[in-house]
Amino acid sequence: MEAGVDFNAASLAACVLRQARLASQDDAFIARVLPSDEWTDNARPGMTLLFREPRRVGSLRPLLTRILSFPGGWPIDGFTTIPTDSGSFGTLLGLRYIFLPEVSLRWDTALRQRLQTSEEETEIIILDQATKIGRMCQDLAADPCIGEARLNWFDVIVCRIEEYDTIIPRLEAVRAPPAADPLSMTRSPFSELLELSSNAVLRQRLAVVRAADSFLLDGAA
């Protein structure tokens, strides 16, 4: 989506999370592309990939294999799609990927162990993945089928299934686009509406995963 002036992103985020709650999704996320002159404490690196010509989904397997097998960083575990304006089913203008360690650590034990070592590891891991994405974009840009491959930073709200009932009312309470804090590095508050930061979010996720693991071990015993 491309938002206009005075768009209430909190209202959209609440709508997305309501749909996720209805579908009983384990996790849902909403992301705002950060322009080059903005920043937030809850930013995640990602990739925007645009094709020179619309591509059928079925033709993308070699490209996806190339992306998924790219060395370094952490595994790339999913994409969102950029559809054509015509709405033609199965035809895409491009792909987006966002590194969401709070989702990945559900299954990625190596990532979980790294994050547990110290709070500084959060920033190191995020920057490592940004480096991987940047190198991958350089590699993909040489492909004649690729019109553009770029590293983006995204302001994200990621919500797990246990949080829907608390996060949705907080977002619904935002009746109009809030004014930017003059001390903030972003002009359009998004994750700041929930006072999110990478370290706090991932510490909380680790605690939840550890508690779930402990429960499973106790149950097995």
- Is residue 216 over pLDDT 70? no
C-alpha count within 13 angstroms, C-beta hemisphere, residue 90 = 4
- Is residue 179 over pLDDT 70? yes
Give me the mean pLDDT over the 176-203 stretch: 85
The tokens for 1 are 């989506």
High-pLDDT (> 90) share of the chain, %: 62
- Is residue 217 over pLDDT 90? no
Q: Of 98, 99, 92, 97, which is closest to residue 147 (Cα–Cα)?
A: 92
What 3-state class would DSSP assign to 129? helix
- Is residue 89 over pLDDT 80? no
The tokens for 129 are 């993945």
Listed by start position, the domains of the chain span 9-220
High-pLDDT (> 70) share of the chain, %: 94
What is the pLDDT at residue 220? Answer: 53
pLDDT in tens, 112-162: 889 888 889 999 999 999 999 999 999 999 999 999 999 999 999 999 999
DSSP annotation string for 181-197 = PTTSS-SS-SGGGGT--
If one compares 32 and 183, the residue with the highest pLDDT of the two is: 32
Give me the mean pLDDT over the 64-75 stretch: 92
Long-range contacts at 73-77 (CB < 8 A, ≥ 24 apart): 73/128, 73/129, 73/131, 73/132, 73/133, 74/99, 74/101, 74/104, 74/108, 74/111, 74/125, 74/128, 74/129, 74/132, 75/104, 75/108, 77/103, 77/104
Q: What is the pTM of this model?
A: 0.88
Rounded CA separation 103/123 (Å): 16
